[in-house]
Amino acid sequence: MQADPLKKHISQQFDTELEDIRNRVLAMGGLVEKNVGEAILALVDGDAKLGEVAAHSDYQVNRMEIAIDEECAHILARRQPTAIDLRLVMAVIKTIADLERVGDKAEKIARVAVEMASQDRPGAFKELRYMGDLARGALHKALDAFARMDVDAAMDVVRGDDLIDEAYKGLTRQLITYMMEDPRNIRRGIDVLWCARALERVGDHSKNISEYVVYLVCGKDVRHTTPDEAQEEIRSNLR
Amino acid sequence: MQADPLKKHISQQFDTELEDIRNRVLAMGGLVEKNVGEAILALVDGDAKLGEVAAHSDYQVNRMEIAIDEECAHILARRQPTAIDLRLVMAVIKTIADLERVGDKAEKIARVAVEMASQDRPGAFKELRYMGDLARGALHKALDAFARMDVDAAMDVVRGDDLIDEAYKGLTRQLITYMMEDPRNIRRGIDVLWCARALERVGDHSKNISEYVVYLVCGKDVRHTTPDEAQEEIRSNLR
């Protein structure tokens, strides 16, 4: 973890504003993480009430996105940031777009949870819970890396995404078997498949957020590279 | 269509830069649109070679995204734009993120096309072509609205998204029937379902891009509102 490179402005007000958008991103991220966790729990436990709560909470995520976006536009117009301050604002604009999409996934899973609460449930729920833990864990670590501007932690999330993809593939195979056993399982199987897919996407968004952290700290855009290439980029930057 | 409100800077170089990022967004959008079209064609016609071409072309889309992103950061740092110029840069940063994701969908569809080219094919391909036309049409119109900064055209895309969602639901029902008829169809059916889902998402991204056009021209953030609420926002802005 580095010393906080943002703490350096003559204008204290500017410091406060930058600190404020960082905190708001973390608050938005915390809410999204909570919604993902509750949506999974509602699905796995067949808890329709919790599902309703998680689905309904997404409107708040959307409002946070719009408010932070506006604040970023204000900072750009008023403060005309450069270098790492500018990168922070750019990273925030991108991060909240990814968080908003994770929020959408949580809402979708929560709605499936509400629908399925009263139905017979496929056996794949244990694996879904495991996948949910992985995806939520990745999101948590990505937000943590953002909070501490920790490139190493961010790269751990990038590298860990393969694990979520593997879990997703395993779950898909299992669900296809479940559907082949009895055609009446198909509709339900597809619903669960959507949820697994949504979690796989949560992993992708967490990876995106982690890549913005690398950009923010190092000024290197490591999207669309392999983790090894990214690591090399970061190293060459520190030399 | 309004007169172009961006043509007003004393610095001709700044005009050129803004014009340049607009053109680059349109070039990126054109490539993405082409990839979506080719991916669908490859899937429907079972053309593995075309599928390979479309899948491979996505790396170019990713490179364009990174280059435009960098250019936006440079403009923000060097020109410190305000008002509509700042909104243009913000809209571009968001638009290319959506375009990049549409590119990913095209790549995924193209990969399914390659895999399925030698297999028996479900009957839902006519509907998939129809859905592909709708989604690609929405993307084309959204980019056109961006090019002409045309709020009315943008709102048409926002309103038209329901049509794509309906087509998606119809296709899903059809594919579930196809899978229920014979369990050996399940794997193939799910592959086609992913493609339909990807096209539905292309529609969503086109809607997002159209909402950025409204933000760019009117300064109103109409995301997460209904089309009617958005229209009211726009009207109140013109009063």
Q: Are A213 and A150 in contact, with CB atoms under 8 Å apart?
A: yes
Chain B residues with CB under 8 Å of A73 CB are 86-87, 90
CA distance, residue A208 to nearest chain B CA (Å) = 11
Residue environment code for A23-34, b if the CB has 16+ CB neighbours within 10 A, otherwise e: ebbeebbebbbe
Q: Are B234 and B222 in contact, with CB atoms under 8 Å apart?
A: yes
> Which position has the token pair 């996505």?
B58
pLDDT at B239: 63
B6 pLDDT more than 70: no
pLDDT at B1: 47
- Averaged confidence pLDDT in chain B: 93
B200 pLDDT more than 60: yes
| CA dihedral angle for residue A115, residue A117, residue A122, residue A127, rounded to 10 degrees | 100
What DSSP state is assigned to residue A185?
A: G
Q: Tell me: domain B12-238, CATH 1.20.58.220, correct?
A: yes
CA distance, residue A4 to nearest chain B CA (Å) = 21
B238 pLDDT more than 80: no
B69 pLDDT more than 90: yes
Determine, for residues A66 and B223 on separate chains, whether the beta-carbon distance falls below 8 Å. Answer: yes
**Cα(B145)–Cα(B137) distance, rounded to whole angstroms?**
12
CA distance, residue A164 to nearest chain B CA (Å) = 18
Facing A69 at nearest CB: one of B70, B190, B221: B221
pLDDT at A4: 59
Q: B140 — contact with chain A (CB < 8 Å)? A: no
What DSSP state is assigned to residue A224?
A: T
**Cα(A37)–Cα(A163) distance, rounded to whole angstroms?**
19
pLDDT at A20: 96
Domain ranges of chain A: 12-238
CA distance, residue B183 to nearest chain A CA (Å) = 5
Q: How far is CA A65 from the centre of its chain?
A: 14
Determine, for residues A86 and B80 on separate chains, whether the beta-carbon distance falls below 8 Å. Answer: no
B119 pLDDT more than 90: no
**Local confidence band at B159 (pLDDT 50, 70, 90 cut-offs):** very high
What DSSP state is assigned to residue A159?
A: H
Sign of CA dihedral B78, B82, B87, B90: positive
- ipTM, 2 decimals? 0.92
Q: How far are the Cα atoms of B22, B232, B235 from residue B228, in angstroms, in the given order?
A: 28, 6, 11
pLDDT at A206: 98
Q: Which of A204, A224, A233 to mutate to test the interface with B (most CBs of B within 10 A)?
A: A224
B150 pLDDT more than 60: yes
Determine, for residues A90 and B73 on separate chains, whether the beta-carbon distance falls below 8 Å. Answer: yes
How many other C-beta atoms are found inside a 10 Å radius of the C-beta of residue A59? 12
* pLDDT tens over chain A, length 239 residues: 455 566 567 778 999 999 999 999 999 999 999 999 999 999 999 999 999 999 999 999 999 999 999 999 999 999 999 999 999 999 999 999 999 999 999 999 999 999 999 887 766 678 899 999 999 999 999 999 999 999 999 999 999 999 999 999 999 999 999 999 999 999 999 999 999 999 999 999 999 999 999 999 999 899 999 999 999 888 887 66
B4 pLDDT more than 70: no
Per residue in B10-38, pLDDT tens?
778 999 999 999 999 999 999 999 999 99
Q: How far are the Cα atoms of A9, A202, B65, B84, B202 from residue A227, in angstroms, in the given order?
A: 34, 18, 19, 38, 28
Under 8 Å CB pairs connecting chains A and B tally to: 74
Q: Which of B28, B74, B179, B205 to mutate to test the interface with A (most CBs of A within 10 A)?
A: B179
Determine, for residues B223 and A70 on separate chains, whether the beta-carbon distance falls below 8 Å. Answer: no
Determine, for residues A86 and B77 on separate chains, whether the beta-carbon distance falls below 8 Å. Answer: yes
Chain A residues with CB under 8 Å of B92 CB are none
Chain A residues with CB under 8 Å of B87 CB are 73
Determine, for residues B190 and A193 on separate chains, whether the beta-carbon distance falls below 8 Å. Answer: yes
CA distance, residue B80 to nearest chain A CA (Å) = 6
